Every structure is written in structure tokens, then in C-alpha cells.
Structure 1
Amino acid sequence: MAAIRGVIFDVDGTLIDSNDAHARAWVDALEEFGHKVRFEEVRRLIGMGGDKLLPEVTGISSDSPEGKRISGRCSEIFMKQLLPELRAFPGTKELLEELHRRGLRIVIASSAQEEKLRELLKLTGADGVIESATSSSDAEQSKPDPDIVQAALDQLKLPHGEVVMIGDTPYDVEAAARAGLRTIGFRSGGWTDSALAGTIAVYDGPADLLAQLDTSPLAGASTAPQAEKTPQQRYV
């Protein structure tokens, strides 16, 4: 097996404890527009793009006038009411910095909108080691379609065998597999090991992977240090 040289991270539920907040924003926005949806029904879909989630729970197309209003209100609720209370999972900053120190290149692949993603990445406290990020604006189809992961892979310009995806939902696993990548799963997003079937390893979250890094699939990575990026080179 080739040594891993690049890591593609999901964000929500993987680096940032935000899955419940996303579900709450959707439930509240939908209720304002007269659509009563249970929190649990939405929560199980967090991780796929909103363009797929909305029609799944309501039958409303995200491209319709009503769909656009609901999606816009959902983003507003999330950004203004919920985002200020969110935090990164324990070990997020340390994991990202250690992977960078070992010479791995780090990119982000998220179904989130670019503005939302930028604010979420600030919460990691390690924006200086994130090489680039792909969001919903970089792909025609959101997760579990592979477009966003493929866009991140294109930025890395590394062979598939030298890149691994790290995510917390079955949608991450499916998107990565359809892009030809292996996935390391995190339980931090609330999914069981059986739901994360197809991963090459599963950890509780960033801190757990960091603690077991030397016995993980990332153990064979280069130990060549990388230079810290300048503020102009940082994604966020």
C-alpha cells in the first residue's frame, strides 16, 4: 500500500461539532414555511447536500422559488443563531497541525456553502495548515455524489492510492468510494460503525486518531516538515 501523502477532510461532524446545529436550522426554517418535520428525520440526512436533503424530507426542489427561500432562511438561522455557539471537536487543531508537520497535504471537501465553510474552518484554529477547500460551489452535485471529493482530489494532484478521505457519515464514504478513494471514519458525527461500513478504519474523532496516529493508515506518511503558509496563501 502506497504511503498517504494527502488527506481530504469533511468538516461538519468530522472537525466541527455542528451536525445537530445544521439539523436544527433546517427544522426551524421549514417550520417557518409551514412544513413540520421531525428533528430525527433531518438529522439522519446531515452530511448530504441541502439540494438533496430538502426534496428528501419535503418533496420541494431546492431550485424552486420556495426551495430557495427555505434554503436561504436555513443558512441565515445557522449563521446568525447557531454558528456562534459551535466548537471544534477536541484534538482537531492538534491533529491537523501534526499531519501537516509530518508532511501530509490537507484539503477540505464539504457540501457546505463557501461562506459557511469559511466560518466553520476558522473554528479549527489551524487554518494555516489547510491547503485549500472545495465547497458546494465547486461541484454540480453534492454528496453523496463524488463531485466535491473529486474537486478536492484534482487540487491535490496526487495518485488516488496516496490520498485518503476522512469523514463522519455514510455520504462521505460513498462520495469517496465513487471518486476512487479510501475513507477513514469518525464516530463523532453520530453514526455507528455499521453505518460507516466500507471505511478502512474508524475512530471516535480527531483526538482518538491523533492518539493512535502511529498505528493508523496514516502512519507511513512522510515526516518531512512543511513550511507554514503566509496569510495570503491560507484558505480562510
Structure 2
Amino acid sequence: MQRTPTLPLPKAILWDMDGTLIDQTAAIIRAYGDVIESMGGGIPDPAVIRRSLGGPMASTMALFIDEADLDEASKRFRLRFPEIMFDGLIILAGGLELIERAHKAHISQVIFTNKHGDTARKVSKYAGFSKYIPICIGNTDTEWHKPQVKLTRYVLEQINASADGACMIGDSPTDIETAHNASLPCYCIATGAHSTAEMLEAGADAAFNSLFELKAAFGL
């Protein structure tokens, strides 16, 4: 029987949000579809949208919308998504428990995401994460976005943490690239669009089928 890897207890955790702590895919895909269709882009393939999640919103839009119309599409998405963002929202099992255990173990934590900052903070409060992780940094909060190393360094500064002993927890190749650009290990969860095998192939330092498995690997 395959044993769960044992990981060193981190000094700081940088959490991704979508696909890692929550599944908001239904509302996200619906918002993209509504905007793209309204701008004459036809009905987008939900599977294509799902596979693109984790990167900047404009990158997903660019798969369906001409570059000249991207700014308008992004504005429409930011108006549409808040109207439906809690529809079908799933708080992924084991996430809040792991966050609470890490908090009790005095591990610094922060959420940072390519989701719009204000939206991300509303979701964090709704899901109960903000009780233990008061700092949540999203897209438009800074001039950077994942996987830029300047953003990761900025995020570490906000929780007075160094890269030494810190880790990132995510669910996508974007998260892996983000972590490795800043010399952090990335532990991935197969709760999003990618399997453990795909994430290990993309360079994840470890990959798990659930947040419960990751919690056990940390010994929390």
C-alpha cells in the first residue's frame, strides 16, 4: 500500500484559493460563458475554461475574445461574476480544518490568488477562512500576478515571512511555477482540473488526492 509522504512542517503557508480551498467552477464558467456569448464569441467549451483556470482572467478570456476586446470583456466579467459567485460554491473538504490546525501550530498563512482581490476577500469571509487568515491578496491588489516572483515576495512580506521554510499549496501548473520562481516547494491537491500525476509531471514537490491527505503528511 502506498504511504502518504511525510512533509516538513512549514513555517508559512501560501494558499491558492480556486480549486485548492474552494470549488467555484460552476459560477466561474457561467460568468465566462455569459460574457463571451454577449460579445459574439459563441458558446465556449466549459472544459477549455476549466483547464485554463489558475492563470489571470484575461488569459482565459483571450482564448475566446480578440485582444482588442479584452479590456471590455474583463470589465463585464467583473460585473457579472459577483452577481452569481456564491451559486454552487463548494468549500472543499478538509481545507478549513487544515487552516485551523496550522493556525494553532503558529504557522503564518496567507491566501493569494489571481481572483479579483475584493471578490477573493468576500469568498474568504463567506467560507470562514478569514477567521484564521486575515490577509488575502488577489489580482488588482498589486501590479503583479501569479506566477511573477515579485508578487510572491510581496505576499511573504505581508505576513513577515521569508522563503526559507515557507511552502505553497495549490492545484495547478501555475501554482507550481509561482512557487518555484520564488524557490518555494509546491504541494498540490487534485481537487481542481489536474490529477496528481499531471501535477507531479509539472514539477510539484508532492501531490495529494485530498486536503485530508496533506494534513496527515504535515502531521497536523
Whether the TM-score (by the shorter chain) exceeds 0.5 is yes
Structure 1 unaligned blocks of 5 or more: 220-236
Which residue in 2 is equivalent to 1:29? 35
1:46 aligns with 2:53: yes
CA deviation string 1:32-57 (max 9, x = no partner): 11102222222111110113222244
CA deviation string 1:32-87 (max 9, x = no partner): 11102222222111110113222244342xxx5x3233222223332212424312
Which residue in 2 is equivalent to 1:199? 204
Write the distance in 2 (CA, Å) between the matches of 1:10 and 1:45.
Answer: 15
Moved more, 1-10 or 171-180: 1-10
Write the distance in 2 (CA, Å) between the matches of 1:154 and 1:163.
Answer: 12
Code of the residue aligned with 1:39 in structure 2: it is P
Deviation at 1:129, TM superposition (A): 1.0
Name the CA shift for 1:106/1:173 in 2 (closer, same or farther; >3 Å). same
* Aligned partners of 1:110 and 1:148 also within 8 Å: no
Which residue in 2 is equivalent to 1:19? 25
Write the distance in 2 (CA, Å) between the matches of 1:208 and 1:28.
Answer: 36
Write the distance in 2 (CA, Å) between the matches of 1:213 and 1:4.
Answer: 8
1:93 aligns with 2:96: yes
* Aligned partners of 1:111 and 1:148 also within 8 Å: no
Name the CA shift for 1:57/1:35 in 2 (closer, same or farther; >3 Å). closer
Code of the residue aligned with 2:49 in structure 1: it is V
* Aligned partners of 2:116 and 2:139 also within 8 Å: yes
Write the distance in 2 (CA, Å) between the matches of 1:52 and 1:145.
Answer: 15
Deviation at 1:4, TM superposition (A): 1.8
1:151 to 141, 150, 154: 154
CA deviation string 1:178-219 (max 9, x = no partner): 1221101010112022331322211223233224431xxxx6
Which residue in 1 is equivalent to 2:105? 102
Classify the secondary structure of the residue corresponding to 1:8.
strand
Write the distance in 2 (CA, Å) between the matches of 1:159 and 1:141.
Answer: 19
Write the distance in 2 (CA, Å) between the matches of 1:145 and 1:162.
Answer: 20
Classify the secondary structure of the residue corresponding to 2:86.
helix
Moved more, 147-156 or 12-21: 147-156
Using the size of structure 1 for normalisation, the TM-score is: 0.80
1:6 to 5, 9, 12: 12
CA deviation string 1:78-109 (max 9, x = no partner): 22124243121112211110010111011011
Name the CA shift for 1:172/1:57 in 2 (closer, same or farther; >3 Å). farther
Using the size of structure 2 for normalisation, the TM-score is: 0.86
Write the distance in 2 (CA, Å) between the matches of 1:190 and 1:122.
Answer: 24
* Aligned partners of 1:7 and 1:105 also within 8 Å: yes
Q: Number of residues paired by the alignment?
A: 211
Classify the secondary structure of the residue corresponding to 1:164.
strand
Classify the secondary structure of the residue corresponding to 1:109.
strand
CA RMSD of aligned residues (A): 2.2
Moved more, 124-133 or 11-20: 124-133
Write the distance in 1 (CA, Å) between the matches of 2:195 and 2:26.
Answer: 16
Structure 2 unaligned blocks of 5 or more: 1-6
Code of the residue aligned with 1:50 in structure 2: it is M
1:175 aligns with 2:182: no
Deviation at 1:121, TM superposition (A): 0.5
Write the distance in 1 (CA, Å) between the matches of 2:63 and 2:149.
Answer: 19
